[in-house]
Amino acid sequence: MITPDSNRNELKKGLRVCLWATGVTLLLVCLKGFTGIFCDSEILVADAFHSCADLLAISASGFGLWLASKKKTRRFPYGLYKAETLATFIIGLLIVWAGIEVFKEGYSKLFICVSVKAFPVYPAVVSLIAVFAAYFIARKERAIGRLINSQSLEATANESFLDICTSLMVLSGILLAYAQIPYIEGAIIIVIALLIFKLGLQNIWAALLVLLDANLDPLLQTEIENKIHELYGVKGVSQVMIRQAGPFKIIECKIETSPTLALYRAHELADKAEEFIMENYKHIDSVFIHVEPVKNNTLSAIIPVQDIKGLDSHVHGHFGRAPYFIILKISGSEVSIEDFYCNEFLKEKQHIGVKVIRAVIKNRLDLLFCSQIGEIAFYMLKNNFVDIYKVEDNFSVNDVLEKYHACQLELLNAPTHAVEESLVKKSED
């Protein structure tokens, strides 16, 4: 199961990548800046400033991951995961700023022809080094970003992939400047600047959606609702809310169950739903389950009967030894017969009731009406959230339903006889 400690360990993986990428990017900034100044290459100097923006973005991402990896406190009970989202927002602003600066540089290059007499070997080599460095940084950032579901790391990875294009553009610009074709250099710079600007806006928008608690994964919401509804004892799922908190998700869920369910059993059902979500979905930090009494009036009921006469069938005196079982759907005052089940285990010597329950439990039963039930069958049904009501022998099904709607039936909180009595009577459930 995912734990807070394992979540923090994942964030520390991202922090280590940020530190590594920061060091490499700092070296590139120095290399580009010194080479550009030494070789009088203005475009390489401009690219060094662009790499400074990348350095700030990676540092912001690392700072956000560092804050997010801190333990939860009384002041911050949900943790500092959204610090990572805030870093994504800042990264988006920095990328937009870098896009504007690159656009300005490209526009100025459209009309200026720089005379280059010697072939620019060192600037070209530095640009090639920058291409390979950006490629390895981007791959590492994207791999770890996707592994830990980090928005800021994926944002910086996208920026690093654009750096590959930018470095190639810078290399082309250096060579085109040597060939005296500056307008092509400027046009390429403007195109790349627009791409950078678009990426920055996308990161800003994505971070804003998270900070405003938008539902970013409706398919996951629907899937969790359907899966939780399949858990036995859950009568309905009224709402699943997913809140993104940095790289992790916080899930709140309201489930419905029987209004007669004991408090400790409702707590067990909530724990069961929580464990299911934590074990089956990644990047979940915490799950909050709220249990409410069922609001749905449609219930599934089973009654052991002596004969098959529809609603005129008569109740059999013992659950496990009944020849037939009638399964009903009760919706308010409306009742419909879903099925008649023939007790195929009557010839068995023991545990008949248990075998019957295993055969009919797939109907997601809510109610059982019977006059006698043994200990094993009773607790097996209770563990499957079935309410058991005591009725008299030879009642017709109509009589049972009439008294149920009039609230005149006793809700059983214990079996009518123990295992030892069943063994003596050879009527073990």
Strands (E), 24-96: none
Lookup result for tokens 């037939």:
324
Please give the pLDDT value at position 165: 78
Task: Clarify whether residues 124 and 253 are in a common domain.
Answer: no
Task: Clarify whether residues 104 and 196 are in a common domain.
Answer: yes
Task: Clarify whether residues 305 and 264 are in a common domain.
Answer: no
The count of structural domains within the chain is 3
Task: Clarify whether residues 203 and 188 are in a common domain.
Answer: yes
Helices vs. strands in the chain: H and E counts, helices first: 12, 9
pTM recorded for the entire structure? 0.62
Residues whose CB is less than 8 angstroms from the CB of residue 13 and which lie 6 or more positions away in sequence, other chains included: 144, 147, 148
CATH (domain of 236): 3.30.70.1350
Task: Clarify whether residues 286 and 207 are in a common domain.
Answer: no
Task: Clarify whether residues 189 and 259 are in a common domain.
Answer: no
Task: Clarify whether residues 196 and 270 are in a common domain.
Answer: no
Domain that residue 405 falls in: 298-425
Task: Clarify whether residues 275 and 390 are in a common domain.
Answer: no
Instruction: Work out the number of other CB atoms within 10 angstroms of the CB of residue 178.
Output: 17
Last residue within a domain, chosen from 211, 243, 260:
211
d(CA 389, CA 382): 12
Residue 70, SS3 per DSSP: coil
Residue 246, SS3 per DSSP: coil
Collect contacts of 63-69 with beta carbons under 8 A, ≥24 apart. 63/87, 64/88, 64/152, 64/246, 65/11, 65/12, 65/14, 65/15, 65/18, 65/150, 65/152, 65/153, 66/15, 68/11, 68/246, 68/247, 69/8, 69/11, 69/12, 69/15
Task: Clarify whether residues 283 and 312 are in a common domain.
Answer: no
Q: What is the largest CA-CA distance in the chain?
A: 111
217 assigned to some structural domain: no
Collect contacts of 344-349 with beta carbons under 8 A, ≥24 apart. 346/321, 349/426
CA-to-CA separations, 140 to 17, 57, 197, 206, 370, in angstroms, rounded? 7, 16, 23, 22, 65
Task: Clarify whether residues 305 and 411 are in a common domain.
Answer: yes
241 assigned to some structural domain: yes
Task: Clarify whether residues 404 and 373 are in a common domain.
Answer: yes
pLDDT truncated to tens, each residue of the chain (429 aa)?
445 556 667 777 777 888 888 888 888 888 888 888 888 777 777 777 777 777 777 777 777 778 777 777 888 887 777 877 887 788 788 878 878 887 887 787 777 665 555 677 888 888 888 888 888 888 888 888 888 777 677 777 877 777 787 778 778 777 776 676 667 667 777 877 787 788 788 888 988 888 888 888 888 888 888 888 888 778 778 788 888 887 778 889 888 887 777 777 788 888 888 988 888 887 788 889 988 887 656 788 899 998 888 889 989 888 888 899 999 988 877 888 888 888 888 877 777 778 888 877 777 788 889 888 888 888 888 877 888 899 888 789 999 998 888 888 888 888 877 654 554 444 444
